[in-house]
Amino acid sequence: MKIQAINGFKDILPEAVGRWQSIEQRARDIFERFGFQEIRMPILEKTELFVRSIGEATDVVEKEMYTFADKGITMRPEATASIMRAFIEHGLHVQQPVQRLYTIGPMFRHERPQKGRLRQFHQLDAEIIGAAEPRVDAELIAMGRMLLDELGLTVSLELNSLGCPVCRPPFKERLVAFLEQRREVLCDDCQRRTRTNPLRVLDCKKPSCRAVVQEAPSLLETLCPDCDRHFLEVRTALEELRIPFRINRFMVRGLDYYTRTTFEFLTTDLGAQAAVGAGGRYDGLIEQLGGPPLSGIGFAMGLERLVLLMEQQANNSLAAPSTDLFVAALGTALLAPCGQLVHALRQQGAKAAIDYSGRSLKAQLKQAGRSNARFTLIVGEDEWARGEAILRDMRTQEQRTFTLNGSPEEQARRLLALVGTAATSG
């Protein structure tokens, strides 16, 4: 029986890897422009870390974590909690009070797989720790926007504020009272959530629940003065940076650590999976995990969703993989010297390829074409006996004679000089 990958776990094949790498490189480049440094954490963490940060009554913790129950450890479902754990454990703020950290890597959630939703997926995650000013929120959102823009993606931005421990609890009470009165109309999940996590009812997708929450009290209208001012200043700073957004008072996010600003980058091009990226402020989290009372804000983008969008919005043609020089050795006796030449070419930085099968010239030229070779060096037995080979420009089909004297290193140097000039003039 053939063994296949687990449902929801996907191979990223060579033909797709180029796109992944270009997104990752662009992200690293932009994050570094904004002063971020990379951090890499382990994939396994103590289960308690996620329970205490993401929250016990969230979907992620209740039903989506890959946990080794007997060992008390879990495969990370997201990166923020792990970054905060590492930040606290190593006292990173002591060296530098404001930390800007990013990470790129796999996350694990036991969700029902569908387009854009996997059980192992990858996030680009960026966090700013130790800065509470609203302009920082706008700066971080602007960074996400810049990445999406530079990838050529059309994605909208929604914004909300979830208040703080001063204004959220009284709001929750009002919301629960409102929902209790309409209990029969709510779906089973929301009837349960009214008790466990009432804010989640606000973003239920079921039409009956949606109709109910349209009339629900709004947290935005009951923010405390500090949260209200913060939200106003974030909006103003976004406007100053000319970043369009829409306010969505029903956005609650699926993780419990958020306070104040939350945001989502959304698309209608990925079916049910609307969020390409999302994040927000988590001002009490670090202290709650045993660290100093520092604020934080961050976001994560799903790499699979970015890749799908790039394919879908199709304004991104990816350069095909290419070879600088393909060496076609026509005869087994020539494999040794041609192998040495290819090795020398690679040592000198060229992307060189060779076929060891001793196949016909026609077959090898076909392979050179498939590997997108810019030039092919044809080494036939007769030419070899004369100390020569033929250099063929695969684009113009022009051919010229190349003299094979000197060591493989010298040949490689001359060949690259020749190929370099021909490539720039051709």
Residues found near ligand HAM in the complex (CB under 6 A): 78-80, 109, 111, 116-118, 121, 123, 125, 127, 254-255, 275-280, 298-302, 304-305
- Least spacing, CB of residue 101 vs ligand HAM, in Å: 10
Residue closer to ligand HAM, measured from CB, 141 or 338 = 141
Helices (H) and strands (E) in the chain, counts: 16, 16
Biggest alpha carbon–alpha carbon distance for the chain: 95
Which one, of 304, 291, 301, lies nearest residue 81 by Cα? 291
As measured in angstroms, the least distance from the Cβ of 59 to ligand HAM is 10
When the beta carbons of 46 and 370 are compared against ligand HAM, the nearer one is: 46
Q: DSSP secondary structure string, 346-378?
A: HHTT--EEE-TT---HHHHHHHHHHTTEEEEEE
Query: What angle (nearest 5°) sits at the alpha carbon of residue 367, between those of residues 361 and 373?
Result: 105
Q: Are strands 66-68 and 156-161 parallel, antiparallel or unpaired?
A: unpaired
Cβ proximity to ligand HAM, 58 vs 367, nearer residue? 58
Q: Which is nearer to ligand HAM, 125 or 324 (CB)?
A: 125
**Distance between alpha carbon 136 and the CA centroid of its chain, in Å?**
21
Smallest gap from residue 116 Cβ to ligand HAM (A): 6
For ligand HAM, the closer of residues 254 and 292 by Cβ is: 254
Query: Token pair of 128, please?
Result: 């700013």
| Locus of tokens 């950290």 | 101
CB 77 → ligand HAM: shortest distance, Å? 7
Question: Token match 């959530």: residue?
Answer: 193
Smallest distance, ligand HAM to C-beta of residue 261, A = 10
In this complex, which beta carbon is closest to ligand HAM, that of residue 237 or of residue 278?
Answer: 278
Please name the residue ranges forming H helices in 155-263: 168-181, 188-196, 207-214, 225-240
Distance CA 180, CA 194 (A): 7
Supply the minimum distance, in Å, between the C-beta of residue 91 and ligand HAM.
21
Residue 371 one-letter amino acid: S
Dihedral (CA of 80, 26, 271, 202) sign? positive
Residue closest to ligand HAM, measured at CB:
302
Q: Which helix (H) or strand (E) holds 422?
A: helix 408-425
How many beta carbons lie within 10 A of that of residue 387, not counting itself?
10
**Smallest distance, ligand HAM to C-beta of residue 112, A:** 9
User: Closest CB to ligand HAM among 22 and 371?
Assistant: 22
Q: Where does 223-294 have alpha helices with state H? A: 225-240, 285-288
Taking the least distance from each CB to ligand HAM, the nearer of 115 and 400 is 115
Task: Please give the DSSP secondary-structure letter assigned to residue 253.
Answer: -
**Least distance between ligand HAM and beta carbon 196 (Å):** 18
- Alpha-carbon distance 283 to 294, whole Å? 7
* Residue number, 127 or 324, with CB nearest to ligand HAM: 127
Length of the chain: 426
d(CA 154, CA 313): 8
Give min distance, CB of 138 to ligand HAM, in A: 15
Q: Which residue number, 77 or 408, has a Cβ lying nearer to ligand HAM?
A: 77
Distance CA 160, CA 262 (A): 5
CB of 87 to ligand HAM, least distance (A): 12
